[in-house]
Amino acid sequence: MRRFYIVLPVLAALLLAGCGNNGQLDGADGQAGEAAQLQEGTPQPVETADPQAAAAQSAAAASPEPSAVQETAVTPEADSAEYKREIAFDIDAISDPIVNDEIKTSLKDALEGIVNEDLKQFNSAFTTPDLAKANEYGFKTGGGITFTGVDYISNQPEGRVVMNVNYIWITADGEERSDSPNYWFMQSKEGKWGLVTID
């Protein structure tokens, strides 16, 4: 597109130079037309000895490209504000005694992976690569997402800890959804706590 804006004034200059004086307004009609243009506020080019330079100046003065550039510069800022991705609560401040530091770290890895759209970080929250692969449907990309908190923290049979993780997701096409999936944590064979499933 920039090439077009650069080439346009050059083509206009060549065409006007090729026309010579034939393109100028003559007689009473020409003077009336020039007067009408002056009343409408059309800027007059500075007279120069070089007709190509004069044509280039008038084409540059009439070109709308600065406003088009300004409009496109504003749009990405609006988009980034509209599609915010964040964790809006402090995971380390979860005070339930069954949520130990390993569970908090696992939860943090999963949520930060989603916020950063980093699948590798998301998968690192799980106790095994197979469980990570099976739960990739919980990995949200595109649009915006805000994790607003956790609730319903419970100690389940077979050494499992479950909590609801609340979020608001704005899809890439602007649809707003909210959900509270269960995040399930267990100890691995090595005894380390981590995420095992999201449902």
DSSP alpha helix (H) spans, 25-164: 27-39, 51-62, 65-82, 101-115, 119-123, 129-134
Query: Is-above-0.75 flag for pTM?
Result: no
CB atoms within 10 A of CB 123: 20
156 strand-pairing partners = 160
Task: Give the rounded percent of residues in the chain with a pLDDT score beyond 70.
Answer: 59
The mean pLDDT value of the chain amounts to 76
Residues 43/61, Cβ–Cβ less than 8 Å: yes
Of 2-6, 73-77, 90-94, where does mean pLDDT reach its minimum? 73-77
| CA separation for the pair 130, 197 (Å, rounded) | 11
Residue 185 near residue 193 (C-beta atoms within 8 A): yes
**What does the radius of gyration of the chain's CA atoms come to, in whole angstroms?**
32
Q: What are phi and psi of 7, to 5 degrees?
A: -75, -35
Q: Which residues contact 137 (CB under 8 A, 6 or more apart)?
A: 198
Q: What is the pLDDT of residue 106?
A: 98
List Cβ neighbours of 8 (8 Å cut-off, separation of 6 or more).
59, 63
The pLDDT tens digits for 5-53 are: 454 555 555 555 555 554 444 444 544 444 444 455 444 444 545 555 5
pLDDT in tens, 104-113: 999 999 999 9
Residue 20 has a pLDDT of 53
